[in-house]
Each structure stands twice: as structure tokens, then as C-alpha cells.
């Protein structure tokens, strides 16, 4: 079951990013809604031997083999077992000039909302626990901070980064 709520405001379309907000741990993330294909309940995952921790399994999305990524690994967060709120967000991204369909785990999917681009700031140079190239910006929306990940950089680094260099937090 998928529920989303659309919030609208009077900001012109060129000055907003329509975003799907989702939760990882105690953090709220936003990805561009135009790239989202669908949101699924948890499905069986086929583990890939010797794969990177970030993209360690494959799922079947309407007969298509899709890699399943865990953003928690890239952001150095503790992994959690899926629960009733866990969802898979399937979206399209361009890597090496080719469209690629991928899935990411989300602890909870919140809403589709408009984020005013004027409210998006560069991540601070001090105090960030994440690699700066993995964060496009941070926005303040409804009195909460929303992290806008740079999915292109995150997934491109997976193509070039040896498995041994990937940071993983284990329970």
C-alpha cells in the first residue's frame, strides 16, 4: 500500500523542486519526484555474492532486474531490519549518459511536496557527517531540515569505487 500527500503552494514551478520525502533513521531526505517510477512494499531480494555493501542485492520490478541500494551505507548510518513502514522507492537516474532504473530502501515514505529552491542551501563545510559530494543541498521545510542527496554522485561513486573502500556500519 502506498500513500502520498501532495502539498501545493503559490511558488512558480521554475522556483520549486517537486520532491518525494522519505525517512532514513531520524533524517528526512528528498528526491526529485519526476525521477520516481513507483513505491513498493518490501519484496524478496536476491543477494549478489561479493557485491558492494551499498548495492548488495537485486529485485524484480515488473519483470525487470533492478539493483537495490541502501543509502544508509553511503551515509554511514546504522542498518535496520525492514518493518511495516519500510518501502522501496524505484526511480530512474542517468549514469554515464544512460538511463538506469534503481531501487532504494526507505524507512518510511512521507509526501510529495514542493520545496522552494530559495530555501535550499549548500551543506556546511563544518559539522557534516556525510561526504559533501553526496549532498546537493539542505532545505528547511515545515520547520524541519531536509537533505537533498546528490544521487548522481552517490551512484557514480559506486561504479568507480572498489568494494574495499566502501564504508559500512554494521550492527
- What is the residue-wise DSSP string for 4-33? --B---SS-GGGEEEEEEEEETTEEEEEEG
Q: In this structure, is residue 42 part of a structural domain?
A: yes
Q: Is the pLDDT of residue 2 over 70?
A: no
Picking from 29, 31, 15, 10, the residue whose alpha carbon sits closest to that of residue 147 is: 29
CATH number, position 150: 2.40.50.180
Which pTM does this prediction carry? 0.81
Give the range of the structural domain holding residue 26, as residue numbers without chain letter: 19-165
pLDDT > 50? residue 171: no
pLDDT in tens, 110-166: 999 999 999 899 887 766 677 788 999 999 877 889 999 999 989 886 655 444 444
The verdict on residue 5 lying in a domain is no
Does 90 reside within a domain?
A: yes
- Which comes out higher in pLDDT, residue 80 or 103? 103
**Residue positions counted in the chain:** 171
Bridge-based pairing state of the strands 144-149 and 27-32: parallel
Q: Is residue 78 part of a domain?
A: yes
Chain centroid offset of residue 101 CA: 13
**Residue 10 falls inside a structural domain:** no
In a domain, 37, yes or no: yes
Whole-angstrom Cα distance, residue 95 to residue 65? 17
The structural domain count of the chain equals 1
CB 133 within 8 A of CB 153: yes
- The verdict on residue 152 lying in a domain is yes
Domain assignment present for 126: yes
CB contact at 8 A, 59 and 68: yes
Q: Over the range 135-168, which residues count as b (16 or more CB within 10 Å of their CB) and which as e?
A: bbbbbebeeeebbbbbbebbbbbbeeeeeeeeee
Amino acid at each position: 500500500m502506498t500513500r502520498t500527500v501532495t502539498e501545493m503552494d503559490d511558488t512558480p514551478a521554475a522556483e520549486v523542486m517537486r520532491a518525494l520525502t522519505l525517512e532514513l533513521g531520524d533524517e528526512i531526505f528528498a528526491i526529485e519526484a519526476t525521477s520516481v517510477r513507483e513505491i513498493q512494499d518490501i519484496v524478496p531480494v536476491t543477494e549478489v555474492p561479493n557485491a558492494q555493501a551499498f548495492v548488495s542485492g537485486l529485485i524484480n520490478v515488473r519483470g525487470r532486474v533492478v539493483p537495490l541500494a541502501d543509502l544508509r551505507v553511503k551515509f554511514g548510518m546504522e542498518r535496520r531490519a525492514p518493518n511495516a513502514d519500510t518501502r522501496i522507492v524505484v526511480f530512474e537516474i542517468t549514469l554515464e549518459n544512460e538511463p538506469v532504473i534503481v531501487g532504494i530502501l526507505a524507512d518510511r515514505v512521507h509526501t510529495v511536496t514542493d520545496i522552494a529552491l530559495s530555501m535550499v542551501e549548500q551543506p556546511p563545510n563544518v559539522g557534516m557527517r556525510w561526504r559533501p559530494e553526496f549532498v546537493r543541498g539542505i532545505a528547511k521545510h515545515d520547520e524541519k531540515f531536509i537533505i537533498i542527496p546528490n544521487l548522481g554522485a552517490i551512484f557514480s561513486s559506486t561504479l568507480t569505487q572498489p568494494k574495499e573502500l566502501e564504508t559500512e556500519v554494521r550492527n
